Structures are given as structure tokens and as C-alpha cells.
Chains A and B, each alone.
Chain A
């Protein structure tokens, strides 16, 4: 590690801003951003699948609360949601004495919670649309071949809906990656937080933010690459046959 640090410092000797020290800041910001985005997407999608199914329920007392939830979270800015969760948790009676306080005292977890609720709302609607667009004939065939509702959901409706939802969900992932920049306003040292720190310390806004923009670009391209591969694999049934 020490040798690496020396190597960096020598390599970067030519400039005052991008030292091993500030690069480490960016690096930690990068890991924080990835953790925050990855975890919120993961929990978000796990919440969104049952919510999307419930969103299409014929019982209004299942359908309506889910609709209200997605309506509110898609209808308000993520930054406001973040503020409300971050500053709002303390108003829960007794939370500061509870076992959860060490978690919510950190800015990371309120941010994770706000991001998760936000992306789950969007993902629910994406999946809901895809489920609704399942071909009626395919559902009819599933019924005619003796499938129960859960089996039909598991084998026909969801696999077909997830494939249809993939391009829209890829956009949602990129959207979350970019939206996660707001985490820095609640003291989280994510990528944007790191850039802000470097800017403030050296008063070098362009270098600090252009560098971070490049990192976001690389991340975005990686996400796009992964989704392109997934679409190639999973949407093969929509393409004419090759060869």
C-alpha cells in the first residue's frame, strides 16, 4: 500500500490537485456511490415486484394504497424526499433511544431509505406496465393448460414482463446513479461530495467537477453495457433469427 501511494504521488507530481490524497477521496466517494445506488436498486426491485403485482389487484384496498405510494414518490423531488427522511426520522418518538438510532444517526441509511423508496416507486410502475401488457392470448393459453395463478405468474407473466421492462429499467438504473448525487447535501461523501470537497479545498471547480463527471460517465457506460448484454440475451425472442 505504501509503495502504491509513493508511486501515485510520483506519477501525479506534476499537479497540485490530483494527489494521492484527493484521489483517495474520489475513490471512497466512488465506493459510497456504488454502495448506495446498488443497495437501493436491489432492495427497490425486491419491493417493486410484489408491489407491481398488487398494483394490478382487483381489490381496491390492495391496489389503491400502492397507487398512492407510487404517486407520491414519483410526484415529488428526490431531494425533498431525502430531506424528509434525513431530518424527519428524529421526530419519531423514542427513535434516539431505540436500537435503530445508530443506523439512522448516520446519513447513509436515511439516504439509502429515501433512494430505495424512490426507485421502488418508479420500478413498480415500470413493472406494472409490463405486466399489464402481457399478451392476453398467452395468459389464456396458460389457463387452458391447467396452470394455477401463482404458477402462471411465475412461469409466464413475470418472465415475459421482466423482459419487456428491461430497457425502461435500464434507464431507471442510470437515473438513480445520477440522482444519487443529491446524497452529498446530507453530508454523505459520495462521488459528488468528494468533488465538492476537492473544489472547496483547492478552489478548482472545473478540475474537481469535470473529473467527477468523467467517473459518472464511465459508470453510466458500464451500466449501459451490462443492460445491452442482458437485452441481447433476454430479448432474443423479439429479433429475427441470425444466420
Chain B
């Protein structure tokens, strides 16, 4: 991708749930090929921050710029919302999300899941979408599962399938929301291996995870969130191996 545009910028994102302020002005800039990892205790706002980036949550304040295109907001009596939902839909199609609980569409086979959005959102010819989907499924090691329904597969297979579904959109940025947290320990490895491959080929990724070792390995930047504030941020070696704050030291300390 020979593009000079910045895939994703978030500036001063704030979000309240009722009176509780979950995000207190967070910024992030993902350049081409960046792998940015968000870590932090539960409740620190890392998933909410990620979900603000594709507007599954509406930020109350702040700017979002995807591929140099700012998203326009307006104030309504229900709070701030996007001015143009068509723009949001178009931008979401550039930001594929991989969820903690996979969220594959249960009534569709794996192959149908992978071609669904390319065909019906991007308007790709079905034949081409199927060919691409099959090579993506091959890549995540699930070509023999193409005709299976999600409930007929293990969690690890479903998550790798969900990654194939995300890749089928050829996204600007891939958003991973705790992709291994719902998996049995022995299934985590396969999913991480696929994700490592994506990082190696230069995909721009933003990732919420508890897998610190993996974060150290693949990230270009690690962001540590605490109570809705970016407490530390920088290269993994700096943040993870030489934390400045006591809090981050405690967070990274072995639990037993």
C-alpha cells in the first residue's frame, strides 16, 4: 500500500457513561504498519477507547481522523453523534474489528461469514470474494472448515475465522478487542501466531490485550491506560521493561 495518509488518528477522545468519565482525553496516532497495543487493568477504558475508534461507542468529545478524513459530529439532545451515518458506515468498512467473543454470524457458514461484508458492503463480485475468502481461510488454516457453521468449531477456530473475515475487507486498520481472552489457554497460541503473521507483513493494527509477552514481541508502541488516562506510552522495551510509574510496575509484576 503506497499511501502516505495516516490510517488512524484519535485526538483528545473523552467518553462518559452517566456521570462516570471513562476516557479522559486520549490521543493516539497509528501510522502505516504500526502495531499499537493498549494494556491496562479492567475498567481502565482500553476497550472503550478501541470501540470509540470505529464508533461502536460515541465519544463525547474529541476528533477521529481515518485515512486523513475527519469524522463530522453534531450535538443533539441525546448527546453528540455523527453528522452523517453513511460516512461512518464507509469508515467502519475500512476498520475491521476482531471481537473478544468472535461474533461470527451464527446462521452462516464460515465462508459465508467471510464473504458477507465484502459482497454486501463493498459490493465485490461474489465469485471474486469467494476466491479471496478461500485463500484467506487457507492462510489461517481453516480451508477445510469453510462449510462449517460457527457453533461447529472451537473457539480458536472461530477467532481465526473472524480474523479471516476482518482481512477480507482489506482494512486500513485492524482493531483487536481482547482477541484471546475468551479462549482456552491451549487455543491462544494459534490465534497469536496468525496475528504475528499480520504484524510481520506490515498490517496496521490496534490491539487490546492481556498477553504482555505477545505485546512486547509485536508492538511498535505500547500504551498503558489507567482510569481513562494514558499513563505511559512508548516503545515496548521502554514501557514494558523499564516502566516509570509504580502502578505500571505493579500491573506488570507476576501475579503469583
Q: Which residues in A have some Cβ–Cβ distance to B below 8 Å?
A: 135, 137-138, 140-148, 151, 155-156, 159-160, 163, 236-238, 240-241
Q: Which residue of A lies closest to B85 (CB)?
A: A148
Stretch touching chain A among B96-104, B126-134, B184-192 = B96-104
Shortest Cβ distance from A86 into chain B, in angstroms? 42
Which of A142, A143, A160, A237 has the most chain B CB atoms closer than 10 A to its own CB? A237
Q: Are A163 and B103 in contact (CB under 8 A)?
A: no
For the side of the interface on B, what is the size category? 20 to 34
**Given A141-B99, A237-B151, A238-B151, A147–B105 Cβ distance below 8 Å?**
no
**How far in angstroms is the closest Cβ of chain A from B55?**
9
B117 touches A147 (CB 8 A): yes
B121–A236 CB distance below 8 A: no
Q: Does residue B54 face the partner (Cβ distance < 8 Å to A)?
A: yes
Interface bits B6-27 vs A (CB < 8 Å: 1, else 0): 0000000000000000000000
Encoded as 1 (CB less than 8 Å from any A CB) or 0, chain B from 133 to 154 comes to 0000000000000001111100
Which one, B92, B106, B149, B150, contacts A145 given CB within 8 A?
B92
Which of A144, A151, A237, A241 meets B106, CB within 8 Å?
A: A237
B121:A138 contact, CB within 8 angstroms: no
* A155 contact set on B, CB distance < 8 A: 116, 120
Tell yes or no: B77 within 8 A of A by CB: no
From A144, A151, A160, A241, B105 is in contact (CB under 8 Å) with: A160
Q: Most chain-A Cβ atoms within 10 A of its Cβ — which of B56, B90, B96, B121? A: B121
Given contacts A140-B103, A160-B106, 20 further A-B contacts (CB under 8 A): A138-B104, A138-B105, A140-B56, A140-B99, A141-B99, A141-B103, A144-B56, A144-B96, A145-B93, A145-B96, A146-B117, A146-B121, A147-B121, A148-B86, A155-B116, A155-B120, A159-B107, A160-B105, A237-B109, A240-B152
Q: Which residues of B contact A236 (CB under 8 A)?
A: 149
Chain A: minimal CB distance from B206 (Å): 13
Q: A144-B97, A146-B121 are in contact. Are A135 and B106 (CB under 8 A)?
A: yes
A237 to B104, CA, bound (A): 12
Residues of B contacting A146 with CB < 8 Å? Answer: 89-93, 117, 121
Task: Answer whether A138 and B96 are a contact pair too, CB < 8 Å, given A145-B117, A237-B150.
Answer: no
Assembly CA distance A135 to B150 (angstroms): 13
Tell whether B169 is near chain A: CB-to-CB under 8 Å.
yes
Q: Which residue of A lies closest to B108 (CB)?
A: A237
Q: Please, how many angstroms separate the alpha-carbon atoms of A236 and B165 in the complex?
A: 21
